[in-house]
A = this chain, B = another copy of it.
Amino acid sequence: MKIDLTFSVNNIDELQLRDKNVVVIDVLRASTTVIAALHNGAREIIPVSNIESAVKISGSLFGDVTLRGGERGGKMIQGFNLGNSPLEYTEASIKGKSIIYSTTNGSIAMWKSRFARNMVVGAFVNLSKVTEFLSKTNEDALVMCAGDSSEPNGFSLEDAVCGGMVVQQLSQMKNMELELSDSARAAHTLYKSFGRSIQKMLKDSAHGKYLAGIGYKEDIQYSAQVDSLPVLPILSGSALKLKKDEKRAAEPEITPAVK
């Protein structure tokens, strides 16, 4: 199985993702939040590329089952119902709802993956579900770290380390032959160095520091808990969903390669 990895969603053309198996990782916080929302009973998450789309789409849907969630600069967008803290996405606030979702990096990575064969959302909180999915499909995959588009370098340490942890778990599976791109090897090395304390790595990362500074320290602790939310969001049409019985540890819906 070949594993490629991008450190940033910058410069990715959506057609490059066509027919690929893509794992979108935005640890702080879009991936973690989407996983938390579906784990806590949201009906679906519809990732969009910008605020205008979010407003347009949610305007044509039934008001009482649709919410708008997301952030700019880490903070809730004016006129939205929810920000981007996973702690906001409780059962009480989102059960049964469709959530139109717009963030600075993560929702764009999810939206750019809409032509992928399979797209799943990964973070530390569901890491083993991601590697289980990849090992079951047993096909080449692209781990797409969303990164930080506000920096020229586009890089986020936390996403790279999480991508490297995916490589690490796969490499430890029996009968798994991995072929890694340079970037996947690099991420694996970063995991081996920074993965010893995920919580410390998140705290010391540029975006972790930023989030702590604007009052979201608890989100960092929440995002650091490996396998605490064992569900796998998978793109189905335009929406991220769980299979109905996902909470009972069912198989995700996987689209096989055309032979």
Contacts and interface: CB of A to CB of B under 8 A. Distances in A.
A181 B152 CA distance: 11
A170 to B, nearest CB: 17
A5 interface: yes
A153 B7 contact: yes
User: Which has the most chain B C-beta neighbours within 10 Å: A6, A151, A155?
Assistant: A155
Interface stretch (A30-38, A185-193, A237-245): A185-193
A206 B10 CA distance: 21
Interface string A240-255: 0000000000000000
Contacts of A13: 152
Contact of A153 (B6, B152, B205, B206): B6
Contact of A182 (B6, B155, B189, B193): B155
B189 A194 contact: yes
Interface string A58-90: 000000000000000000000000000000000
A112 B236 CA distance: 40
Q: Number of copies of this chain in the oligomer?
A: 2
28 contacts: A4-B152, A4-B153, A5-B153, A6-B152, A7-B7, A7-B155, A8-B11, A8-B154, A10-B10, A10-B11, A11-B11, A11-B152, A11-B154, A142-B152, A151-B181, A153-B183, A155-B182, A155-B183, A156-B182, A157-B186, A160-B186, A182-B205, A182-B206, A186-B186, A186-B190, A190-B190, A192-B193, A193-B193
Interface of A: 4-8, 10-13, 16, 142, 151-157, 160, 181-183, 185-186, 189-190, 192-194, 205-206
